Chains A and B, each alone.
Chain A
Amino acid sequence: MDHVDAELTDYVLDLLPPERRAVVDGHLRECRRCLDALEAERRLGAAVRGAFQAQPPLTAARASELMPVPPVGRRWRRPSLAQRRPLAAAGLVLLLALAVISWRPVATSSPAAGTTTATLTATATIAGTIPPRTAVHSGLSATPIPAETPGVQQ
């Protein structure tokens, strides 16, 4: 007969998986020795419970004296997640609106800036589409080449 002493702690602490618990239950029905060991484990738990139970209680008068002063008035309460979602959406819309409003005056009041942007964009587009060789050629033609520059035909 295989005794189950080693599993009795887990048994009383409710830590055994159901299948092992069933095996231990079956064994305990037949084995007096393991049943006695189980009772000892249970007595230990009962003794600890009893020690905690026997603590000196707090009297009503003392409990009353110890009560902290409650916070005065209505407290601000953190909104729940359900309440926070519409708030977050409204905040996002507000931010976008502010971004649009703050961008417009810059675009209208400073035409030079707009022109520069357009020019830069166009340049970037052209630079991206023109083959590299053409771009090199244009650059060369815009800059006077010294006659004595080796390797360059005039």
Chain B
Amino acid sequence: MAFWTDITFDLPLEGPAEPAERDLTLVQIERCLAGETAAYAILYRRHVGFVYRLVYGLLRHREDAEEVLQDTFEYAFRRLHRYDPGRSAFKTWLYRIAVSRCRNKRRRKVLPTFPLAPSDGPDGAADPVQIRDEQAVYPDEAFEQRRRREIVWSALGELSPKLRETAYLRYFEGFSYQEIGQVLAIPAKTAESRMRLAHQALKALLAGRL
């Protein structure tokens, strides 16, 4: 078995904080480029969690998300020498690759495969599409939260991919419009317009349902 599969990952897998973490990331990149194979595993471990969250959030399909995740890091590792820290943060660069691959994945599929609500996670979380006796397992409050999330996911599933990408980057990541523009390769003003459209669409779709 290769050494990188033996590496222990410390959960939770979260994205790096700024700016000290950013410096550490740059150090790891330099080590990778110097030929230290172990540095790739460290770089991967530091970023895999939030890249997975992004691609899963956009594709809503576990197998597709895993495939895109792998593809994203494979491409990033091969093109690491092309990353320019002066132009964007490493996270932004990775996100750009990941979003591009998500689009390719969607384009290749004739029919969308993502469900309108979260599917099973590898940790054995229940599939909300299935009708289950949730109240027997969860307290009322948890059930209510779950019901609301399903409604929100249903609404997010009705947004166009472009609006959903923007909504994810703004609502969840808290990216500035400039950063969203860098990830999606669009001007910041376009990112603003898309975010406004996404918010208004969600407001209409969720009116009286939350």
Contact = CB atoms under 8 A, between A and B. Distances in A.
A60 to B, nearest CB: 3
B93 interface: no
A70 B48 contact: no
Interface residues of chain B: helix, strand, loop or mixed (majority): helix
B139 interface: no
Contacts of B196: 9-10, 13, 15
Interface string A43-86: 11101111111111111111111111111111111100000000
Determine the interface band of chain B, counting residues with CB < 8 A from chain A. Answer: 35 or more
Nearest to B193: A15
B26 to A, nearest CB: 14
Given A68-B74, A75-B81, A56 B66 contact: no
Nearest to B9: A60
A67 B156 contact: no
Interface in B116-141: 118-123, 125
B199 to A, nearest CB: 5
B56 interface: yes
Interface string A12-53: 110100000000000000000000000001011101111111
Interface of B: 2, 4-13, 32-35, 37, 40-41, 44-45, 48-49, 52-53, 56-57, 62, 66, 69-70, 73-74, 77-78, 80-82, 118-123, 125, 145, 148-149, 152-153, 156, 167-168, 170-172, 192, 195-196, 199-200, 202-203, 206, 210
22 contacts: A10-B196, A45-B199, A47-B148, A47-B210, A48-B167, A50-B148, A51-B149, A51-B153, A56-B118, A56-B119, A56-B122, A57-B121, A59-B122, A66-B66, A67-B5, A67-B41, A68-B73, A70-B4, A70-B37, A70-B40, A70-B41, A70-B77
Interface of A: 9-10, 12-13, 15, 41, 43-45, 47-78
